[in-house]
Amino acid sequence: MDLRARFQQRRDAERVNRQLKQKLATHTLPDVMEYVNETAALSQLQKTAKSWERRTNVASVSRRIFY
């Protein structure tokens, strides 16, 4: 590998490093309680959806039995 190629690799690596440092400096994480609340809400929605699915299955079966 010649010297010119090594310098090019170094410049590329430094450029990528600067970009990653910039992303790291501006990166923010959501609040922990926000995550906990979102997870709880998701769990509740999944339970509700499952409940409605069971209700519609029961209604479908009972409709076939009585009609």
DSSP letter (8 states) at residue 65: H
User: What are the tens digits of pLDDT across the range 24-55?
Assistant: 999 888 899 999 999 999 999 999 999 999 99
Instruction: Provide the domain count of the chain.
Output: 1
CA of 64: how far to CAs of 52, 55, 57, 60, 67, in Å? 18, 14, 11, 6, 6
Domain holding 57, by residue range, is 3-66
As a whole number of Å, the CA-based R_g of the chain is 28
Q: pLDDT value at position 27?
A: 87
Q: Select the more confidently predicted residue: 62 or 11.
A: 11
